Amino acid sequence: MSTIASLPLFHQITGQQVLVLGDGPAAEPKRRLVERAGGVVVDDLARAIDEGVRLAFIAYEDAKACEVAAINARCAGMLVNVVDRPELCDFTTPSILDRDPLLVAIGTGGASAGLAKHVRLRLERVLPQSLGLLARALETARPVLRKRFPDGADRRRAVDAGLREGGALDPFAPDAHAKVPDWAMGTAGQPEAGMVEIVLTSPDPEDLTLRQVRLLGEADVLLIDGAVPPEILARARADAARQVWDGPTQGGPAPTGEPDRPGLTVRLRYCPPT
């Protein structure tokens, strides 16, 4: 199984107090970040401890002061971020691409904030501003979709069909958000079903085709035939059922438990070059 350096989380802090210590140029961006997320900045450690604050940003210019404050805050039960000191951090802050309410967070686990920033700047040019409108439209359409597709797996496959590249709601189409109401009231797309085989000849996920990446992201069941590299499996849905392929008659179980709704099963066959 492939591993990740840290667990990405989106922490809601609206109306909550957050400790920010420091007066230099490194502290001010943290104050702005907290306020932008709806948090209330507290700048006194003793007060933060007394009032049960849970998050702390420490940005003193003096390295020793940072270490002492981090120990005290952590002992009080806070999760701590020390600016430019990843070895003292319980969490790091990513570079954020904002298409409210859609957020793309790019992190390197403290290895290089500059790299994260420049990846974000590239994505800023690629991802349309209308993504936020699309997210809001899908949120509004949720009750309609739940009525049309009471089963969660069916609903997810319908949304996948609409949002895939070239689909009715292709996220890169600037007018996709305007199509959501009619799409939700209509057929809501025809989700792909049945079994599809992917033959892999390379362990490098960069060698996957766009279609293969899409199928891995939409599969309800993965049938693993051979020593499929974990880097490839990491591209699949985390909640997809995974089974070892046991013969040509295996078609994969219905993810919903109903035989008339087979969903999408992907057989992954690894054939490394000899």
For a pLDDT cut of 70, what percent of the chain falls above it? Answer: 91
Q: Is the pLDDT of residue 260 over 80?
A: no
Distance of CA 269 to the CA centre of its chain: 27
**pLDDT tens figures, 135-156:** 999 999 999 999 999 998 889 8
**pLDDT tens figures, 40-61:** 999 999 999 999 999 999 999 9
- The CA distance from 188 to 148, in Å, is 9
Do 198 and 260 lie in one domain? The reply is yes
Domain hosting residue 27, numbered range: 17-93
State how far the alpha carbon of 100 is from the alpha carbons of 10, 31, 132, 222, in Å. Answer: 13, 20, 5, 33
Answer yes or no: is 220 within a domain: yes
Q: Is the overall model pTM greater than 0.85, yes or no?
A: no
Do 32 and 73 lie in one domain? The reply is yes
Angle formed at CA 34 by CA 87 and CA 46, multiple of 5 degrees: 70
Residue 162 has phi, psi (to 5 degrees) of: -70, -35
The number of folded domains in the chain is 3
- The CA distance from 67 to 58, in Å, is 9
Do 215 and 178 lie in one domain? The reply is no
User: Could you say which of 68, 93, 118 is where a domain stops?
Assistant: 93
Query: What CATH number is associated with residue 32?
Result: 3.40.50.720
Q: What is the dihedral of CA 23, 28, 32, 35, to 10 degrees?
A: -10
**pLDDT tens figures, 207-224:** 998 888 888 888 888 999
Tell me what the mean pLDDT of segment 179-207 comes to.
81
Do 206 and 145 lie in one domain? The reply is no
Q: SS3 for 30?
A: helix
State how far the alpha carbon of 21 is from the alpha carbons of 31, 47, 55, 198, in Å. Answer: 9, 12, 11, 52
Answer yes or no: is 98 within a domain: no
- The CA distance from 36 to 16, in Å, is 12
From 270, 215, 257, 267, select the one nearest 237 (Cα to Cα): 215
Q: Is the pLDDT of residue 107 over 70?
A: yes
- The CA distance from 168 to 187, in Å, is 11
Answer yes or no: is 104 within a domain: no
Answer yes or no: is 124 within a domain: no
Task: Report the length, in residues, of the chain.
Answer: 274
- The CA distance from 197 to 270, in Å, is 11
The answer for residues whose C-beta is within 8 angstroms of residue 249's C-beta and 6 or more apart is none
